[in-house]
Amino acid sequence: MPDEAVIVAARRTPIATRGRALARLRVEQLAAPVIRAAVGDAEEAMRHELTVADVVLGNCMGPGGNPARVAALAAGLGVETTGATVDRQCGSGLAAVLDAAAAIRAGDARPRVAGGVESASTAPVRSIDGVPYTRAPFAPQGWPDPDMLQAADDLARLDGIGRERQDAHAARSHRRARAARDAGRFADEIVPVAESPSQDDAVGQAEALLPRLTPLLPDGTVTAGTATRLSDGAAAVVVVPAGAVTGIRGLAVRGSAVVGCDPALPGIGAAPAVLAALEDAGAGIAQVAAFEIVEAFAAQSIAVLGRLGLDDDDPRVCADGGALALGHPWGASGAVSMLRLFSRLVRGGAPTGTLGVSAASIGGGMGIAAVVEVVG
């Protein structure tokens, strides 16, 4: 009988703004130390060596060549460990975790590493007929395909989310992240890489500037402070069958969903995905103790919360700050959201049975979400 999938370890790099502390590191150089650390944590918890079947990593703008396999080899997992790279844009890292969990639930009981990695600093320049472009189309010709900044401004206008409200949301994310950092709540999840600092470099930097920043688009309301920073970073979790972890605390995957929405408003995708994942898990919003929803833009985050019936400052949502404060390494951000649930619920000592939700909106009009429960 297929077994449940349980996350038993979770690690990440510091998150660094593009061009800064991690700028010289390729994707495998970011991912490999995190993979090694997560596997080491899992082996310590399970008290035996793991043979990892597969490494599944989200990545959006990397060099190709299957970065997950390259990172697996760089991490020293051996030639027998395979690798697969997933591209669901901002949801890639969470999609990788769900793919690993699905393999276990389908009956393959071998442990897996899953997560995401992005190096915005070393992403190759791509071109069509010799003309460089910053991103591939998210929709075919004839369909709406707005730039993400324009889409966030459009969503702010549609929902009547003004500049002051966006500034307050971003400031709150920075305050929460700074408090978490100062209290040491990030310390056990971060793996220093190369000569980088052992903390995220953007926390608190934009907070004092928020009221003085000008909108990025004419007649818009989104500023550099209410848009997340493009970032470098990696995150990984270890996923094992429940039968292998009796008495070990972890997060069991109880439900998940990937949904589509209007590509003209891609920022709202997380909301229907959360509702669908909760339905899959047989749970409701009120039962969830912790939400980690990727904050691509303040307006987008507020719009998602509104569609879920949650207040802008709901203490359950990104309680230690979100991507507005930490940064947004595209392919890794969904995995970071799951890792943050692991820290808040497992490392934080939440009771068995506590529910958490991880989610992201996705360019092109999609959303992804997972419901997890503390076990052990």
Closest CA to 169 of 295, 285, 330: 295
List the catalytic residue out of 169, 174, 261, 328.
328
What CATH number has the domain bearing residue 307?
3.40.47.10
Region 313-340: mean pLDDT is: 98
Could you tell me which residue, 3 or 253, shows the higher pLDDT?
Answer: 253
CB 75 within 8 A of CB 32: yes
List the catalytic residue out of 90, 169, 174, 261.
90
Distance in angstroms (rounded) separating the CA atoms of residues 340 and 344: 6
285 belongs to a structural domain: yes
**Alpha carbon of 173 to those of 13, 55, 293, 341: distances in Å?**
19, 31, 12, 16
Examine the pLDDT at 305 and tell me if it is beyond 90: yes
Task: Check residue 15 and give its pLDDT.
Answer: 96
188 belongs to a structural domain: no
292 belongs to a structural domain: yes
Helix (H, G, I), strand (E, B) or coil at 358: strand
Distance in angstroms (rounded) separating the CA atoms of residues 124 and 345: 37
Choose the weakest-confidence range: 53-57, 207-211, 365-369. Answer: 207-211
263 belongs to a structural domain: yes
142 belongs to a structural domain: no
128 belongs to a structural domain: no
Examine the pLDDT at 1 and tell me if it is beyond 60: no
Examine the pLDDT at 3 and tell me if it is beyond 90: no
User: How many separate domains does the chain show?
Assistant: 1
DSSP 27-46: HHHHHHHHHHHHHHHHHHHH
Could you tell me which residue, 199 or 302, shows the higher pLDDT?
Answer: 302
Mean pLDDT, the chain, rounded, equals: 96
Query: What is the domain range of residue 299?
Result: 5-123+227-375
261 is catalytic: no
Examine the pLDDT at 46 and tell me if it is beyond 70: yes
Region 2-10: mean pLDDT is: 91
pTM of this prediction?
0.97
Region 156-176: mean pLDDT is: 97
CB 120 within 8 A of CB 58: no
90 is catalytic: yes
237 belongs to a structural domain: yes
pLDDT per residue as tens digits for the range 270-287: 999 999 999 999 999 999
pLDDT per residue as tens digits for the range 142-163: 999 999 999 999 999 999 999 9
Region 86-110: mean pLDDT is: 97
Task: Check residue 24 and give its pLDDT.
Answer: 94
239 belongs to a structural domain: yes
CB 67 within 8 A of CB 85: yes
Q: What confidence category does residue 2 fall into, taking pLDDT thresholds of 50, 70 and 90? A: low
Region 350-355: mean pLDDT is: 98
Distance in angstroms (rounded) separating the CA atoms of residues 162 and 157: 8
